[in-house]
């Protein structure tokens, strides 16, 4: 792996479901697909952590499951250390699964109630044929600060508090010494007093172990403690990509603005205005090619029926919004043709990500 090669690279990744139910496989029937993930391009570099933020139904869970290798993408490509995963052999997948681990949101569901901590930690070791089980388990429990390990290793999930369960989940993810951690809202179900300790633990572990993290959440206020860069997702598409602090301070895309303006502020002296956005997000079916946010957008224009390009707004933020580029110079009709001809209509975005990632 070269210095500049991302560990994980998503290129126009696409996952459509032709049935409402997420379980059904694609059958090629003539049904309008649910565009759960629609041409998402993200690079994840070593020791970098990237956030994907969005409301329920924005496709972040589908994206995560695609990254876990549970769903096969219906378009685009996912590269792992430069290798396209669509051409992976069984052995390569097994290697991928060893190196890409997940931490789930819900501490009540993410541990098998019939398994002790030992059983839970041992399973990945057995599946990947590693030795020194006891030593590894003790070490990893110490790393997640379940001390002393002896006190925890024979407990069942119901004998652990929410925060302790989440630490066990983290331990399970770390025990194979992975390169990438996929984190699915790992603190959103925890009490506030515990949240901070888990966030601190995660960011320390990342640093110590040089991990990369893909952090998925609906909660923008905790994400700043983990992520360097944020992708804001809406109905299957990434609408903005910016450094975390930048997006909190100066969101560019109208949807990002709405999302950030709606976060309650724990300060009675601060007079925040309530959201002006009406209605709820639709299902990502038959929405046409235009901007997905156009029907709720306060800045709605005629041109929004055309798919917006990714543009570099100010050298830091990249947004997919017609507000940020000059349509005089680029003929919108040509824009559509370009998209039809090549699936690489977001190339400008890809290049720009590379830049942002290097910073």
Using CB under 8 A, which residues numbered 139 to 178 contact other proteins? 156, 158, 161-163, 169, 172, 176
Instruction: Give the footprint of other proteins on residues 55-84 (CB under 8 A).
Output: 55-56, 65, 68-70
* Cα gap 62→68, rounded to integer Å: 10
How many angstroms separate the first and last alpha carbons of the chain? 19
8 forms bridges with which residues in the sheet?
44, 80
Residue selected from 32, 109, 147, 151 as contacting other proteins according to rule CB under 8 A: 109
Which residues, 329 to 348, sit near other proteins by CB under 8 A? Answer: none
Q: Residue 329 Cβ, how far from other proteins at the closest point, in Å? A: 28
Residue 265 CB, nearest approach to other proteins (Å): 6
Site string for other proteins, 251-280 (x = CB under 8 A): x-----xxxxxxxxxxxxxx-xxxx-xxxx
Among 62, 105, 231, 346, binds other proteins (CB under 8 A): 105
Q: Which residue in 160, 225, 168 sits closest to 192, CA to CA?
A: 225
Instruction: Print the binding letters for residues 224-253 with other proteins: x by CB under 8 A, - otherwise.
Output: xx------------------xx--xxxx--
Question: Of the listed pieces 1-9, 37-45, 106-114, 320-328, which binds other proteins according to CB under 8 A?
Answer: 106-114
Q: Which of 14, 41, 101, 231 binds other proteins (CB under 8 A)?
A: 101
Q: Per CB under 8 A, which region of 206-214, 220-228, 298-306, 321-329 contacts other proteins? A: 220-228
Q: Which is nearer to other proteins, 28 or 129 (CB)?
A: 129
The nearest distance, CB 123 to other proteins, in angstroms, is 6
Does residue 129 belong to the site contacting other proteins (CB under 8 A)? yes
Q: Which residues lie closer than 8 Å to 232 by C-beta, 6 or more apart?
A: 53, 54, 238, 239, 240, 241, 247, 251, 253, 255, 256, 259
- Cβ count near 99 (within 10 Å): 15
- Residue 317 lies near other proteins (rule: CB under 8 A): no
d(CA 205, CA 47): 11
What DSSP designation does 305 have? G
Short-list 115, 215, 219, CA closest to 168:
115
Which residues are CB-contacts of 303 (< 8 A; sequence separation ≥ 6)?
322, 327, 332
């Amino acid at each position: 792996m070269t210095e500049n090669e991302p560990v994980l690279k998503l290129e126009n990744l696409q996952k459509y479901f032709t049935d409402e139910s997420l379980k059904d496989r694609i059958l090629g029937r003539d049904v309008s697909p649910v565009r759960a993930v629609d041409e998402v391009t993200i690079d994840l570099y070593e020791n970098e952590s990237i956030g994907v933020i969005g409301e329920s139904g924005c496709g972040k869970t589908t994206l995560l499951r695609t990254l876990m290798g549970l769903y096969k993408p219906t378009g685009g490509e996912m590269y792992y250390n430069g290798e396209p995963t669509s051409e992976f052999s069984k052995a390569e997948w097994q290697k991928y699964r060893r190196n890409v681990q997940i931490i789930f949101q819900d501490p009540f569901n993410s541990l098998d109630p019939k398994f002790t901590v030992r059983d839970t930690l041992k399973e990945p070791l057995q599946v990947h044929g590693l030795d020194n089980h006891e030593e590894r388990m003790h070490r990893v429990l110490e790393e997640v600060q379940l001390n002393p390990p002896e006190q925890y290793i024979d407990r069942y999930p119901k004998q652990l508090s929410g925060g302790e369960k989440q630490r066990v989940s983290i331990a399970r993810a770390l025990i194979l010494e992975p390169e990438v951690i996929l984190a699915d809202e790992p603190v959103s179900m925890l009490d506030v007093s515990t949240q901070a300790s888990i966030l601190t633990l995660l960011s320390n572990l990342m640093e110590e172990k040089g991990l990369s993290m893909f952090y998925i959440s609906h909660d923008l206020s905790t994400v700043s403690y983990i992520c360097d860069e944020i992708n804001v997702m809406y109905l299957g598409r990434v609408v903005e990509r910016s450094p975390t602090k930048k997006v909190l301070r100066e969101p560019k895309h109208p949807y990002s603005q709405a999302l950030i303006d709606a976060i309650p502020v724990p300060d009675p002296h601060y007079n925040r205005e309530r959201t002006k956005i009406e209605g709820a997000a639709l299902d990502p079916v038959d929405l046409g090619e235009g901007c997905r946010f156009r029907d709720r957008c306060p800045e709605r224009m005629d041109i929004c029926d055309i798919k917006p390009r990714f543009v570099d707004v100010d050298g830091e933020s990249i947004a997919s919004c017609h507000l940020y580029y000059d349509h005089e110079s680029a003929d919108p009709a040509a824009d559509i043709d370009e998209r039809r001809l090549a699936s690489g209509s977001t190339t400008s975005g890809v290049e720009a990500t590379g830049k942002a990632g290097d910073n």
